[in-house]
Chain A
Amino acid sequence: MGIMGILLAGILALIPCLPATAQDSGTITLNMTGAMEFSINLTPANWSFGTVTPNTVNTTDLTQFNLTVDSTSTCAINTYVTGEDAVWADDPGAYNWTLSSNAQNDIKVYVLWFKPDGGESYIPITKGQTSFYSGTLGPGDSKQFGLKLLTPQPDFTKGGTGYFSVGSAIVQTHVTISAVVA
């Protein structure tokens, strides 16, 4: 304890005598990296095409769906759209429609497209990622779009009319838009 006290006193006594470098100011560099955060919102969360018949095209208004990038987001994003097979809501394992990968329908194969409001043509939605918007979207940006559905060819025909294997049934699918930092 005695030795430590003497040493400390010595150090304190010497501090004013340390060589000064003739500076009266200093610079501190502060480094910070802003977090890249974003959030997107797709509305409406649910949409019904109503009653559909085999091998028919059904479209929504081109402003039916709206993708919004939250205004508090801190970065630009790239967006992608994917679809999935449609299933019988009552018994998904018993009946489904496969989402076409080549924009052609067939028995139990349906086609889905999207078209941005102001876009030139419908773009097929597949189970793989398709670019939703060619550019980047920034905080507060929004894009409206519509969907086009081509139902499968009939599973059977009765009295000259084509039908699906399940009647008075709800067939359900999901469209997902995903985003990544640009």
Chain B
Amino acid sequence: MPTIKKFCKEVLRKLTMQQMKIRVITILLAIILAGIPYLPVVAEGNSNGETTITMNTESVMGISLDQVEWRVEGEEDVSLNTTYKTDLPASWCTITNVGNTNVTMFIKGDDAKWVSDPSKKWTLGSTGDNGKNVYALWYHIKGDTADSYTLVTKDLASMKWMRDGEPLNLAKHDDTQQFGLKLLTPTQFIGGRTMEANITLSAVAA
């Protein structure tokens, strides 16, 4: 029994010493931490001063198109109720920003008129459906969702990517975008007439 008592006392003594050691170390650490702000400091504070310089640039607007004409079937005649695409479906025409203004592209079509008598025409449809003397026109932007076409109507409309609905932009000088056209001829028309329509692409400052 006395041996057990002695052993317990020894354990308690060691534990007490251990606690003291921990306390001493804690106190030392606290003193060291408290002393850190007083250690000699070199170059404390703002060692840098910075100013932001801005410059604004002048703007000029301009676009160019590398195609001015699409002869739908070359020297051949077009057929009734038939779809035609430009020979390069996505990159037939290149739009280039020849100015430096960030522009958004707009497009509108027009009725196709008989060159000999402009009063005789094919109406540009507004729904994508063709009909008697009614034709339809679409564009496809290079890089857009495959085989996605957007209808061209007689109303000026923003050219948009089908993939995300974002407008077609040319942000700076020499930026380019390409597109192709698709045409659906009327279900009925009088043959032998050369029909001509104008497609207008406009740039508007974004």
**Which residues of A approach B to under 8 Å, CB–CB?**
33-53, 58, 65, 67, 70, 73, 86, 89, 91, 94-95, 112, 147, 149, 151, 155-156, 158-159, 161, 163-181
Instruction: Tally the A-B contacts, defined by beta carbons under 8 Å.
Output: 175
Main secondary structure of the interface of A (DSSP, over half): strand
A80 nearest CB across to chain B (Å): 10
- 6 sample A-B contacts, Cβ–Cβ < 8 Å, listed by A number: A35-B40, A46-B52, A65-B51, A158-B99, A168-B102, A178-B47
CA distance A164 to B102 in the complex (A): 12
List of A residues within 8 angstroms of B53 by Cβ: 47-49, 86, 112, 147, 149, 172-175
List of A residues within 8 angstroms of B61 by Cβ: 167
Residue of A nearest to B205 (CB): A168
A169 near B173 with CB under 8 A, answer no
Contact with A along B47-64 (1 / 0, CB 8 A): 111111111111111100
Given contacts A33-B40, A34-B40, A158-B62, contact A40 B55 (CB under 8 A): no
**Which residues of B approach A to under 8 Å, CB–CB?**
38-62, 98-102, 171-174, 205
CA distance A53 to B56 in the complex (A): 9
List of A residues within 8 angstroms of B51 by Cβ: 42-47, 65, 174-175
List of B residues within 8 angstroms of A70 by Cβ: 45-46
List of B residues within 8 angstroms of A38 by Cβ: 43-45, 47
B44 near A48 with CB under 8 A, answer no
A53 near B58 with CB under 8 A, answer yes
CA distance A95 to B54 in the complex (A): 14
A67 near B49 with CB under 8 A, answer yes
CA distance A86 to B99 in the complex (A): 21
A93 nearest CB across to chain B (Å): 12
Residue from B41, B57, B100, B101 having most chain A Cβ neighbours under 10 A: B57
CA distance A52 to B54 in the complex (A): 10
B46 near A41 with CB under 8 A, answer yes
CA distance A173 to B173 in the complex (A): 21
A57 nearest CB across to chain B (Å): 13
List of B residues within 8 angstroms of A167 by Cβ: 57-61, 99-102, 172-173
CA distance A59 to B177 in the complex (A): 39
B43 near A41 with CB under 8 A, answer no
B57 in complex: contacting residue of A42, A147, A171, A181, CB < 8 Å: A171
